[in-house]
Amino acid sequence: MSKKPLLIRVNPMDNVEIVVDEAGIKAGTILSEDLTAGEDIPQGHKIALQNIEVGDTIIRYGEVIGYAKSTIQKGSWIDETMVVLPAAKPLEELSVATKVPKPLPVLEGQTFLGYRNKDGRVGTKNMLGITTSVQCVEGVLNIAVEQIKSLLPNYPNVDGIMPINHNYGCGVAINAPEAIIPIRTLRNLSTHPNFGGEMLMVSLGCEKLMPERLFSDIIPENLVMLQDEMGFMPMVEAIVFKAKVILERLNKRVREVCPVSDLVIGLQCGGSDSFSGVTSNPAVGHTADLLVRAGATVLFSEVSEVRDGVHLLTPRAINQEVGDKLKKEMAWYDDYLARGCVDRDANPTPGNKKGGLANIVEKSLGSIAKSGSSAIVEVLSPGEKATKKGLVYAATPASDFVCGTCQLASGITLQVFTTGRGTPYGLAMAPVIKVASRNALADRWRDLIDINAGKIATGEATIESVGQEIYDMILDVASGKKQTWADRWGIENAICLFNPAPVT
């Protein structure tokens, strides 16, 4: 007797299910007493549970993800070409703070081993950070960094070096209103907790973004100005010399027991598929609730992957002010996309669609599952630092690298990253725990995926058990007891600033 194909229906109101079997479903397969597959349907894609007429709603997660472009027969495959995108919900009509979740029971006594800074913030790594005020210095700095790396065996307690290279600083409209985003992002990256409160900046000397604009109190001991040096070798020697002074101090740092309330954790997804919203993201949502219960700060982001589910989030805002700020960030991004003559459905990638996601609405409803069930206590504009404990919405673009950079600027010291299609993404400044939505991905990428949430789809695990597994790994990685695959291989994607201001 052949194995019965597995289907997942998220909500009783849904008129579609998704295919779990890696091999998909063959035409003619009897799925239940009243459902037979009318055609071959790939893994992760939707099968119609009833006849759907032209213009009828297609429902997943209990929400309308679109309208039928043509008649869809029961048992048919519903792909993205058959779904008409619904209009975005008007922001002014959204209710705010009407369903504020009650606080979950507090988790007492939760600790990890971190590096406490003088300002009270706690890092999960002990790194030398080197800020650049302009892209022009990158070539020289990179050569200096290679020399500094050769010295690291002399500083065994230092985890690595992070040159904050970027394409900003000159040739830009430095006084444009939106220039505040890349400038504050650079400022906040430079003072990241994983840099131990130390500062080293490399400047050219004639750029628009002069060092004192980033830090009014910067001192000569923390600054190398390349135009003040007598040629290439003195430039490199100056950077290496000042780096060694800081390395001596960093090497004396030791981990200490810290409460989990000192953690700032970022949540992100990339290479999503239709399983993301039923396995990895809900599991991360459970993790988020555990972290909030332990007093931590948890950030979720990606505006275009929240916009079509924001009506489920504004009622969870802890008060009117937070809810209004959430709507304001959505409105700003609507305008930003409109200026570029695109709409929010420009977000899904070919891989997202190959993985079964029809459009941005379906993608968003799965994405927001990462937020768990806690009240939203703060909303941040891109690159702003978090100031509250609890669940925080940090507005960022959905691009993995831009989102990661913005979240680092907001203060995350560890990130949990879910993926269905797979990506080797990593950050140097903070560990990235990679969570797979499918067994097939976890099996294929055994040396890249840290946790497999695909077990949820096949009934081998629960959302709660995988959520606890992620939580436990967060504490181990934050304490230096375990290493993520990305850190083990040294996978480090570049810092990528979000700059919506003009380039001159």
Q: What is the pLDDT of residues 24-60, one digit of tens each?
A: 999 999 999 899 999 999 999 999 999 999 999 999 9
The pLDDT score that the predictor gives to residue 254 is 97
Give the percent of the chain with pLDDT over 90: 97
Quote the mean pLDDT of the chain.
96
Give the percent of the chain with pLDDT over 70: 99
Distance CA 35, CA 17 (A): 11
Q: State yes or no: pLDDT of 336 exceeds 80.
A: yes
The pLDDT score that the predictor gives to residue 4 is 61
> Quick one: DSSP state of residue 25?
B
Q: CB under 8 Å to 39, separation ≥6 — which residues?
A: 27, 75, 76, 77
Backbone dihedral region of 223: left (phi > 0), alpha (psi from -120 to 50 degrees) or beta? beta
CB atoms within 10 A of CB 309: 22
Q: What is the pLDDT of residues 472-492, one digit of tens each?
A: 999 999 999 999 999 999 999
300 close to 403: Cβ distance less than 8 angstroms: no
Three-class secondary structure assignment of 108-152: CCCEEEEEECCCCCEECCCEEEEEECCHHHHHHHHHHHHHHHHHH
Structure token pair of residue 42? 């790939």
pLDDT-based confidence at residue 346 (cuts at 50, 70, 90):
confident
pLDDT-based confidence at residue 414 (cuts at 50, 70, 90):
very high
Q: State yes or no: pLDDT of 118 exceeds 90.
A: yes
CB atoms within 10 A of CB 217: 7
Q: Which of 121, 420, 476 is nearest to 263 (CA)?
A: 121
pLDDT-based confidence at residue 3 (cuts at 50, 70, 90):
low
Helix axis angle, 180-190 relative to 400-409, nearest 10°? 60
User: In 127-269, which residue ranges form alpha helices assigned H by DSSP?
Assistant: 138-151, 180-190, 211-214, 232-250
Q: Amino acid letter at 451?
A: I
Q: CB under 8 Å to 196, separation ≥6 — which residues?
A: 115, 117, 123, 126, 127, 249, 250, 253
Q: State yes or no: pLDDT of 401 exceeds 60.
A: yes
Burial class (CB in 10 A: 0-12, 13-18, 19+), 492: middle
Q: Which of 308, 301, 224 is nearest to 267 (CA)?
A: 301
The pLDDT score that the predictor gives to residue 343 is 84
The structure's pTM equals 0.96
pLDDT-based confidence at residue 339 (cuts at 50, 70, 90):
very high
Which has the higher per-residue pLDDT, 315 or 3?
315
Q: State yes or no: pLDDT of 5 exceeds 60.
A: yes
Backbone dihedral region of 24: left (phi > 0), alpha (psi from -120 to 50 degrees) or beta? left
Distance CA 470, CA 365 (A): 21
Residue range 304-314: mean pLDDT, rounded = 96
396 close to 407: Cβ distance less than 8 angstroms: yes
- β-partners of residue 199 are none
pLDDT-based confidence at residue 1 (cuts at 50, 70, 90):
very low
Distances (CA, A) of 187 to 22, 79, 119, 281, 490: 46, 44, 16, 31, 25
378 close to 410: Cβ distance less than 8 angstroms: no
Distance CA 388, CA 292 (A): 11
pLDDT-based confidence at residue 431 (cuts at 50, 70, 90):
very high
